[in-house]
Amino acid sequence: MIDNIFSLEDKVAIVTGASGGNGAAIANGFRDYGAVVFNLDIKPGENNDNFIECDITNKESLEKIIEYIVSKYGTIDILVNNAGVTYGGYSDEVWEKTYNVDLKAPYILSKMVAEEMKKKSNGSIINITSLNSELAFPDNPAYITMKGGLKQLTKSLAYDLGKHNIRVNNVGPGYMKTNMTKKSWSDPKTYEERKNKTVLQRWGKPSDLIGITVFLASDASSYITGQDIYVDGGWLIKGL
């Protein structure tokens, strides 16, 4: 039935960093479409349904969580690697911290979850990238590098996992009004500058990510893999 094509009924999903902001919106959207959603985050927040406290850079913790979810529900159908950090500057510490959260953790978690998805030859992995996987912003080399790396990791995984009917895609948010960007959107001048970069003349909201992620998680996108989809108000296509 065409009206069920976006249904996530009986699907089991993991969304990292879903205690607030973009992750919370995605997790809530999945629930609205019928999924059972687990929020893996380092601390609780506005979204505590099925919250599992987790440092995603700790491989042993991830293994235990995957084992627990599979023992309870039998499978994992959807993974959204949303958790991320950003720090300015060129210190080695910043580089390592950003790498561990923004690139290494999605790699490790995707490998683990893919092993479960292979058992039923079905699954969807969605990596949350950024405008910075395409564009350089000042004084933020670690974040830009890791998001660019995540973009390419997605294509590699999509290629290798396609034979198992596991799809892997990127969603790249533009400037969204979250705690991570609060310094920018709370400054009137910066707010206007960022808004004017877009074609739609507004900042994004976390809820703007619900439609595309539900689409990519559902059977509606069953022939789509390895793609980059930017939810940026048209920032990337704007010339003069």
Q: How far is CA 213 from CA 14, 92, 102, 121, 186, in A?
A: 13, 34, 19, 20, 27
Q: Give per-residue pLDDT as tens, 2-43.
A: 568 999 999 999 999 999 999 999 999 999 999 999 999 999
Q: Which residues does residue 14 pair with via DSSP β-bridges, in sequence order?
A: 38, 79
Domain ranges of the chain: 2-177+204-233
Angle subtended by helix axes 21-32 and 210-217, to nearest 10: 50
Dihedral pair phi/psi, residue 63, rounded to 5°: -60, -45
Q: What is the mean pLDDT of the chain?
A: 95
C-alpha to C-alpha distance for 166 and 180, rounded to whole angstroms: 31
Per-residue pLDDT at 47 exceeds 90: no
Decide if 94 contacts 140 (C-beta within 8 A).
Answer: no
Question: Domain 2-177+204-233 maps to which CATH number in 3.40.50.300, 3.30.930.10, 3.40.50.720, 3.30.420.10?
Answer: 3.40.50.720
**Confidence (pLDDT) at 114:** 98
Model pLDDT, residue 3: 65
- What pLDDT does residue 189 have? 92
Q: Are 113 and 164 in contact (CB under 8 A)?
A: no
pLDDT band, residue 1 (cuts 50/70/90): very low
Alpha-carbon distance 116 to 112, whole Å? Answer: 7
In the predicted structure, residue 170 carries a pLDDT above the cut 50: yes
- pLDDT of 165 higher than 60: yes
pLDDT digits (tens, 9 = 90+) for 178-188: 888 888 888 89
Please check the confidence at residue 95 and state whether its pLDDT lies above 60: yes
In tens, the pLDDT along 206-234 reads: 999 999 999 999 999 999 999 999 999 99
- Tens digits of per-residue pLDDT, 106-155? 999 999 999 999 999 999 999 999 999 999 999 999 999 999 999 999 99
How far apart CA 191 and CA 189 sit, in angstroms, is: 5
Please list the active-site residues: 143
Q: What is the pTM of this model?
A: 0.96
Which tops the pLDDT comparison, 74 or 183? Answer: 74
